[in-house]
Structure 1
Amino acid sequence: MTRILKLYSNGEWVDSSNPIKQDILNPANQEIIAKAPEATKEETEEAIKAAKSVFESGIWSECTPLERANVLLQIADMMEDNMNELVALEVENNGKTKREAESDASDAADAFRYYAGLLSNTSGQTYEASYDLQTMIIKEPMGVAGLIVPWNFPLLMSVWKIAPALAAGNSIILKPAEITPMTAVKLFELMDQTDLPKGVAHLLMGSGSIVGQTISESNDVDVVSFTGSTEVGRNIMQAATGNLKKISLELGGKSPNIIFEDADFDTAVDHALFGIFMGSGQVCTSGSRILVQEGIYEEFIKKYVEIVKGINVGPGNDENSEMGAIVSEKHMESILEYIRIGKEEGARLAFGGNRIVQDGMEKGFFIEPTVFADVTSDMRIVKEEIFGPVVVIQKFKDEAEAIKLANDTEFGLAGAVFSSDQNKAMRVIKKVRAGITWVNTYHLTNVQAPWGGYKHSGIGRSLGTYGLDEYQETKQINISMDPKPIQWFK
């Protein structure tokens, strides 16, 4: 039976006054799994007002760090107790493989535990500015946090924003992507069973043009954190100028993966596969540009394509699937259009390029893992983010050219270097203009490390202590240890 979803506002599950419902599909077979409400501008404004009122009441914002930490741990416990359902919903709604969904859900629970632990070790700074003046530096919650998340990691991206925002003492409004709300709904059902005060957290489904725009423009929202496309990020920046609210943007990428001749060949090939085809390439940090030194260029392509041909593409709930569905028909068509453009531009199609419509996948949104070689920097498939299982392989001569090609992009989210020469690897990775980088590995990271990019890949950082800072104000308090008249004016 198709599930009818509701909004969660001011501590209650409520229907939207908008009669329009969004069909939520399983991208592996196009079955309608739910119908989601489309919150109105007025409902969004009401949620913001309620969130602000609860923040000002101090029922959460004035809790001790330990009290907030205990609630975060309750949420983590609830997630772990309901892990199988969270994984199943993520697979069904997003199309990713079960293995990927399990990793995401586990990391999400860990994020709540991390920020709970961070709260139990809070510290500030003090300065003795002079013999009679003591200065304290403290952190305070900002107020109402608007959290706007993408469809590629519906659960994990939600938690990456919710956990630090709540840890800091803010009220929150989460807007999930229109097509992937299922795990966010389940997460809020679980949060509703904890000691989190009613009205602190709100869940609003709906369009970016209404819900997202209202959140971004509102003078009662103090910080907006957005993960998604660079184009939408620019719109949010413009909308946020009304009250000069703080913004955090994690945007697009076209990340270089540099492979030198002296790299461990099999390791480099393996990580280059994982770097792009994990998540069906629908990952902001995907290593979608592989730069290979000329001495091993053809050998690399041969070995790479040989393995790509054996990648098992299929429904995410199939234990044998190594790469799942594309999230929607619209996005699938966009990827296929880029493949057509790549052919037209003269790139060599080494493998793939087609929609998969056999073996029971004819109703799903599946694309072959696709490899283009002999590309040049002026090609659109090299310059623009495709956000799918499409990789371009480019040849370079030496270290200087590798760095030049790596940085020849408007983006700066991620990048990697593979070399057995650690000195060279460090020289090169330091010159790659990107915020998340690797040496002799790809994608592996942890909740303690900051996440974000340079250039058009965004502003601010998620995760780690940096992620908590995004949701806090910094205040100085100056205390006179010897109160007396200044006698400036006599």
Structure 2
Amino acid sequence: MREQLNFYIDGQWVPPAVKHDFDVINPANEEPCARISLGSEADVERAVAAARRAFDSFSRTSISERAALLDKIIEIYKRRLPEMAHAISIEMGAPMPLALSAQAPAGLGYLIDARSQLDSFEFEHDVGSARIIREPIGVVGMITPWNWPQNQICAKLGAALAAGCTMVLKPSELAPLDAMLLSEIIDEAGVPAGVFNLVNGDGARVGAALPAHPDIDMISFTGSTRAGRSIMQAAAGTIKRVALELGGKSPNIILESADLERAVTRGMIHMASNTGQSCNAPSRMLAPRKFYDQIVAIAAKAATALKVMPPDEAVKGAIGPLANAAQFHKVQLLIQKGIEEGATVAAGGTGRPEGFARGYYVRPTVFADVTNQMTIAREEIFGPVLCIIPYDTVEEAIALANDTDYGLAAYVHGDQEEARWVAHRLRAGNVHLNGGYSEASTPFGGYKQSGLGREGGPFGLEEFLEVKAAIGWDN
């Protein structure tokens, strides 16, 4: 079992102020795979002070200097990508084919995107007699989740470095190993001391201390909507900027013109990818009533065909366990809630798949006869559970799609022109048409209670910048 008990603060690995060991659990077997330390307010103070000291000089570095740093980080990340994939797999259960092809490369993609922005982004331009100057916002507190850990860390870190900010990262204590490996990469790349700092910890201590800290200028958070509300409240005392990427309950509209076999199968597989633990998973399938039974049958067949396998044995396309015990119990409770509220189990159901006595494995599940007011249609399940809701007209499908507290993503399958028309009507930050996938440069973020701000591309870089107008510049 690994022991990684130190934090990365001011360019050094340092012990916590107060000893507080914590076991990281491998979700595939429910056994400890590593031991870390949980930090305290004293550790946050030390990390924030280091970031504040470093900001004065790092904020004045040139674009070329920051580009060179990102180039070096990218080079080392590529070399250590297999290690990164393995760390992610053992800490949160991603099957190795997914960890190697998507989880670890997702972080690399955001770093490459941030580097590319420096080739074209306008940090200064003129408007009339004024010079508009974009400068780094300051010290950034970053709080990231366990489901796509490197994706979410690097979406923030890459843009913050490109902007000239310094930062303190609190990764999920349930999946911290990838973040500690990234700290090693950053150290090897020669990022100046204090620019990047890592403090492991839980939400009650480290997570709460960051948004309330007066020397932090911005909080960038990815996680649940409930936690996002708490962070906004804590940040309000110092009126700091808050960027939030929160939950989702994304609709997938199957139009009558769609290739049903292809669209429904793809929708089920996409929803179950990463064992359903994606905030933008298409978990509500809206099906035309005239084809409803056929669509349910296709989805059930696709769910039954999904392989559930241990991460280190998994083949391409297989799903692994849920990431932790709390998530396993939540998903089981919500599947049972769907049954109790009258939905029909077309595939899957409660309990572990056959052959699994341990590990946080769940059965890929399809619910039919779902109404949009059922708990399983309103709450983010964060597991491989698909709800299929019938509609009679496209207008009704759009209304059902928008009838949610969330607005992170939406999906449409069918005639391309009709799909484009529907996309304009959907209240979501990303709309995927006929299997279109996002790239790192595509702005990612949501409407309504799915968050504030965007990550990726120039939109993501803007989040970490202040805008100054120097009036009379040309006088």
TM bucket (normalised to shorter chain) is over 0.9
What TM-score, normalized by structure 2, do the two folds share?
0.97
CA contact (8 A) 1:124 1:136 kept: no
Distance 1:259 1:202 in 2: 45
Counterpart mapping for 1:361-380 below 5 A:
361-380=356-375
Q: Aligned to 1:309, what secondary structure does the other structure show?
A: helix
Q: Distance in 1 between matches of 2:429 and 2:120?
A: 26
Choose the corresponding residue for 1:425, options 419, 430, 433: 419
2:71 aligned to 65, 70, 73, which one? 73
TM-score by length of 1: 0.94
- Post-superposition shift, 1:124? 4.4
**Amino acid paired to 2:33:** I
Report the 3-state secondary structure (helix = DSSP H, G, I; strand = E; otherwise coil) of the residue aligned with 1:225.
strand
SS in 2 for 1:339: helix
Residue 348 of structure 1, aligned match among 344, 348, 352: 344
Contact 2:106 2:150 survives alignment (8 Å): no
Alignment of 1:282-361 (within 5 A): 282-320=277-315, 322-356=318-352, 358-359=354-355, 361=356
1:384-423: CA deviations, max 9, x gaps? Answer: 1111111100110111110111111111111011112x33
Q: Which residue of 1 aligns with 2:464?
A: 471
**Structure 1 residues 452, 33: CA separation in 2 closer, same or farther (over 3 Å shift)?**
same
Question: In structure 2, what is the Cα distance between the partners aligned to 1:481 and 1:304?
Answer: 64
1:441 and 2:435 are equivalent in the alignment: yes
What corresponds to 2:118 in structure 1?
Answer: 119
Aligned counterparts of 1:205 and 1:291: Cα–Cα separation in 2: 41
The structural deviation recorded for 1:339 is: 0.7
Tell me if the contact between 1:357 and 1:363 (Cα under 8 Å) persists in the aligned partners: no
Distance 2:144 2:45 in 1: 19
* TM-superposition CA deviations, 1:79-100 (whole Å, max 9, x none): 1101111111111111011122
Please give the alpha-carbon distance, in whole angstroms, between the structure 2 residues aligned to 1:219 and 1:318. Answer: 47
* Partner-residue secondary structure (3-state), 1:411: coil
Q: Which runs of 5+ in 2 are unaligned?
A: none
Per-residue displacement from partner, 1:12-42 (whole Å, max 9, x unpaired)? 1111132221110110011211111111111
Identical amino acids, percent of aligned pairs: 36
- 1:42-88 Cα shifts (integer Å, max 9, x gaps): 111121111111112x1x21110111011111111111101111111
Matching residue of 2:386: 391
Matched position secondary structure for 1:192? helix
Larger Rg belongs to: 1
Corresponding letter in the other structure for 1:446: E
Relative distance call for 1:268 and 1:127 in structure 2 (3 A) is same
* 3-state SS in 2 of match to 1:456: helix
Distance 2:148 2:331 in 1: 18
CA contact (8 A) 2:286 2:397 kept: yes
Amino acid paired to 2:455: S
Find the aligned partners of 1:108 and 1:184 in 2 and give their Cα distance. Answer: 11
Does residue 271 (structure 1) correspond to residue 266 (structure 2)? The answer is yes
Kindly state the Cα deviation for residue 267 of structure 1 after the two structures are TM-superposed.
2.1
2:172 to 167, 174, 177: 177
C-alpha separation in 2, matches of 1:388 and 1:296: 26
1:450 lines up with 2:443 in the alignment: yes
1: CA distance, partners of 2:120 / 2:394? 43
Shift of 1:119: 1.1
After superposition, the Cα gap between the structure-2 partners of 1:50 and 1:169, relative to the gap in structure 1 and judged at 3 Å, is same
Give the aligned partner of residue 96 of structure 1: 94
Instruction: Give the partner amino acid of 1:119.
Output: L
CA deviation after TM superposition for structure 1 residue 122, in Å:
3.2
Contact 2:210/2:216 (8 A) holds in 1:
yes
Give 1:358 deviation, angstroms: 4.5
Q: Which residue is equivalent to 2:20?
A: 20
Q: Which residue pairs with 1:49 in the alignment?
A: 49
> Distance between the aligned counterparts of 2:335 and 2:441, measured in 1?
37
In structure 2, C-alpha distance between the alignment counterparts of 1:159 and 1:355, rounded to whole Å: 35
Q: 1:313 to 1:168 in 2, by over 3 A?
A: same
Q: Mark the runs of 5 or more structure 1 residues left unpaired by the alignment.
A: 483-490
CA distance in 2, matches of 1:122, 1:378: 45
1:193–1:414 CA distance, 2 compared to 1 (3 A)? same
Q: What is the match of residue 280 of structure 1?
A: 275
CA distance in structure 2 between the partners assigned to 1:454 and 1:22 by the alignment: 36
| Bigger mean CA deviation after superposition, 34-43 or 280-289 | 34-43
For the 8 Å contact 2:353–2:363, the answer to whether it is kept is no
- Following superposition, the deviation at residue 163 of structure 1 comes to 0.4
2:9 corresponding residue in structure 1: 9
User: Which runs of structure 1 show a deviation greater than 6 angstroms over 4 or more consecutive aligned residues?
Assistant: none
Q: Which residue of 2 aligns with 1:488?
A: none
- Matched residue, 2:82: 84
- Give the 3 Å change call, closer, same or farther, for CA 343–128 of structure 1 in structure 2: closer
For residue 402 of structure 2, what is the amino acid of its counterpart?
Answer: N
Q: Which amino acid aligns with 1:435?
A: G
Q: Cα deviations across residues 121-156 of structure 1 (Å, max 9, x unaligned)?
A: 232454463xxxx21111101110011001101111
When residues 136 and 363 of structure 1 are mapped into structure 2, their CA distance, relative to the original with a 3 A threshold, is same
Distance 1:128 1:344, change over 3 A: closer
Three-state SS of the structure 1 residue aligned to 2:29 is: coil
How many residues were matched structurally? 473
Superposition RMSD in Å: 1.4
Mapped to 2, the partners of 1:449 and 1:121 lie a distance apart of 16
Give the letter for the 1:370 counterpart.
Answer: T
Give secondary structure in 1 for the equivalent of 2:305. Answer: coil
- CA distance, structure 2, for counterparts of residue 352 and residue 180 of structure 1: 27
Shift of 1:456: 0.6
- Of stretches 271-280 and 326-335 in structure 1, the one that deviates more from structure 2 is 271-280
Question: What is the CA–CA distance in structure 2 between the aligned matches of 1:24 and 1:70, rounded to whole Å?
Answer: 35
Q: Is the 8 A contact 2:123 2:135 kept in 1?
A: no
In the aligned structure 2, how far is the partner of 1:441 from the partner of 1:48? 42
**Shift in CA distance, 257/22, structure 1 to aligned 2, threshold 3 Å:** same
Which residue number in structure 2 is paired with residue 106 of structure 1? 105
Distance 2:176 2:2 in 1: 14
**Does the Cα contact within 8 Å between 1:5 and 1:34 map onto a contact in 2?**
no
